């Protein structure tokens, strides 16, 4: 029964991941833009560079917030990871005489 439930749960999370694959890719790209803007902001020497990189960081932040379905996809990826981890865990069968001394 446990294996059937794990198979069904893995199938459902796999479908969710495939459905949100586009937003996940967009989310990764916009997080890269956000990282580039923040990193450039901290490494900038002049105020004009800081303003420019600050604008790039704000654009990256607004684009990443618009990919809200990607958060559902990230949750599905995490659930799939823990499901596969539980699948590979060996079954521990209790000793029927464990309660006796």
Do the domain assignments include residue 93? Answer: no
Do the domain assignments include residue 39? Answer: yes
Do the domain assignments include residue 101? Answer: no
Do the domain assignments include residue 98? Answer: no
Half-sphere exposure of 62 (CA within 13 A, CB side): 5
Q: Which of 100, 99, 83, 89 is nearest to 4 (CA)?
A: 83
Do the domain assignments include residue 91? Answer: no
Q: What domain range includes position 82?
A: 2-86
With a threshold of 0.75, does the pTM exceed it?
A: no
Number of structural domains the chain divides into = 1
Do the domain assignments include residue 58? Answer: yes
Name the residue with higher pLDDT: 32 or 94. 32
Residue 73 · residue 15 · CB < 8 Å: no
Q: What is the pLDDT of residues 68-96, one digit of tens each?
A: 888 888 988 898 888 888 877 776 666 66
Of all residues in the chain, what percent carry a pLDDT higher than 90? 47
Residue 31 · residue 44 · CB < 8 Å: no
Report the alpha-carbon distance of residue 97 to residue 94 in Å, rounded.
Answer: 9
Residue 13 · residue 83 · CB < 8 Å: yes
Do the domain assignments include residue 94? Answer: no
Report the alpha-carbon distance of residue 34 to residue 62 in Å, rounded.
Answer: 9
């Amino acid at each position: 029964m446990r294996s059937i439930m794990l198979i069904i749960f893995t199938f459902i999370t796999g479908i969710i991941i495939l459905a949100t694959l586009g937003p996940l890719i967009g989310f990764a790209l916009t997080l890269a833009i956000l990282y580039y803007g923040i990193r450039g902001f901290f490494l900038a020497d002049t105020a004009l560079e800081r303003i420019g990189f600050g604008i790039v960081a704000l654009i990256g932040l607004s684009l990443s917030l618009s990919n809200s379905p990607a958060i559902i996809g990230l949750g599905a990826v995490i659930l799939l990871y823990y499901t596969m981890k539980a699948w590979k865990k060996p079954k521990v069968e209790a000793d029927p005489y464990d309660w006796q001394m």
